[in-house]
């Protein structure tokens, strides 16, 4: 009879010691971040309110912002759009490996295997109507505005990178390190995923995305921005009268970016 009691007493001692050690450990690991969690929860609530307010006042489902890229006008080696994007959104090369730096827009050089025909084009977030990144995002941080612009809510992105796995265009980047010298209008942050915002901060002020503006200034006019839903807009007219294509049209994601010449 006494042996089980001993065993039970030893077990209680062990349990007590384990509980004390666990409590001490948890004190360090849980309490301090707990304060942070409350802050983030509050920040997130504010963000949601701000976002819904912005949606109410600036983004309308009547509009579908989009872009038409004429690859026949896009010059090989020209990176005006990439430079303008980097300047506008304060994107600098990171201090790590090149593969860890963010690229919201990049130039892709294509060579047709059968004919050798060469094409140069800019590639960025295609702002899909049925965006896979929005579908897979566990917290809803990847979202589509009423006007079709696909964005990442920096306050609710947990940095799981599932959207990067799902994007067919390799359009998203993960911020691998602390950032400095940011544009206040374009918040970015370590540990979050980001991609082309279609310069939403400019569009909401009635301006064009920086890449489109730079392409026009460089006299290439390979990029055309506008409202796909407005039949009177130049982009809608061009799409209605010219053969255009979507990248990975087979996936039927209805991207907002169209291409000419591929």
Partner 1 sequence: MAGAAITFREIEGRHGYYGLLAVCGIFLALGAYAYFQMEHYGHIITGMDNQIVWGMPHVFALFLIVAASGALNVASTASVFGKSIYKPLAPLSALLALALMAGGLAVLMLDLGRSDRMIVAATHYNFKSMFSLNVFLYTGFFTIVGIYLWFMLERRMNPWSKAAGVAAFIWRLTLTTGTGSVFGLLVAREAYQSALLAPMFIVLSFAYGTALFLLTLAAASAASKRPLGDAITGRLKNLLATFVAASLYFVAIFHLTNLYYMRNHGVEHFILINGGIFTGLFWIGQIAIGGILPLLLLLLPGVTLSRILTACVAIVIGGLAQMYVTIIGGQAWPLDMFPGYTASSSFFDGVIHSYAPSLVEILLGLGGVAIAASIVIVALKLLRLLPEKLDNATLDLHHAK
Query: Counting contacts by CB under 8 A, is residue 218 touching partner 1?
Result: no
Contact 244, 260 (CB under 8 A): yes
Report in angstroms how near the CB of residue 233 gets to partner 1 at its nearest. Answer: 27
Cα separation, 148 vs 170, in Å, equals 19
Using the 8-state DSSP alphabet, how is residue 5 labeled? H
Residues in 79-98 that interact with partner 1 by CB under 8 A: 94-98
Classify 124 as helix, strand or coil.
strand
Query: Counting contacts by CB under 8 A, is residue 46 touching partner 1?
Result: no
Cα separation, 168 vs 145, in Å, equals 20
Kindly tell me which residue out of 26, 50, 109, 207 binds partner 1, with binding defined by CB under 8 A.
109
List the x/- string, 25-44, binding to partner 1 by CB under 8 A: --------x--xx--xx--x
Tell me whether residue 190 or residue 205 sits nearer to partner 1 (CB atom): 190
Tokens standing for 181?
């010298």
Tokens standing for 172?
């998203």
Query: Counting contacts by CB under 8 A, is residue 100 touching partner 1?
Result: yes
Element (H, E) at 135: helix 132-136
Query: Counting contacts by CB under 8 A, is residue 247 touching partner 1?
Result: yes
Element (H, E) at 234: helix 234-241
Q: Which residues bind partner 1 (CB under 8 A)?
A: 7, 11, 14-15, 18, 33, 36-37, 40-41, 44, 94-103, 106-114, 119, 123, 132, 135-141, 155-162, 164-170, 172-178, 190-193, 247-248, 251, 262
């Amino acid at each position: 009879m006494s042996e089980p009691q001993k065993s039970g007493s030893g077990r209680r001692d062990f349990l007590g010691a384990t509980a004390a050690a666990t409590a001490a450990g948890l004190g360090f690991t849980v309490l301090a971040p707990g304060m942070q969690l409350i802050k983030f929860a509050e920040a997130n609530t504010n963000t949601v309110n701000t976002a819904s307010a912005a949606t109410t006042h600036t983004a309308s489902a009547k509009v579908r912002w989009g872009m038409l890229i004429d690859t026949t006008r896009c010059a090989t080696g020209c990176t005006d759009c990439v430079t303008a994007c980097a300047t506008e959104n304060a994107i600098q090369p990171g201090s790590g490996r090149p593969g860890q730096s963010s690229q919201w827009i990049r130039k892709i050089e294509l060579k047709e295997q059968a004919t050798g025909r060469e094409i140069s084009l800019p590639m960025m977030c295609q702002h899909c109507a049925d965006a896979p990144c929005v579908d897979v995002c566990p917290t809803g941080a990847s979202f589509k505005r009423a006007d079709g612009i696909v964005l990442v809510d920096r306050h609710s992105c947990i940095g799981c990178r599932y959207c990067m796995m799902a994007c067919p265009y390799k359009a998203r980047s993960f911020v691998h390190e602390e950032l400095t010298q940011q544009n206040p209008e374009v918040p970015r942050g370590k540990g979050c995923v980001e991609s082309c915002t279609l310069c939403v901060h400019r569009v909401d002020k009635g301006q064009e995305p920086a890449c489109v503006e730079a392409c026009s200034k460089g006299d290439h006019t390979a990029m055309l921005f506008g409202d796909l839903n407005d039949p009177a807009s130049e982009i809608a007219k061009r799409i209605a009268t010219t053969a255009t294509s979507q990248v990975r049209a087979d996936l039927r994601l209805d991207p907002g970016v169209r291409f000419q010449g591929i």
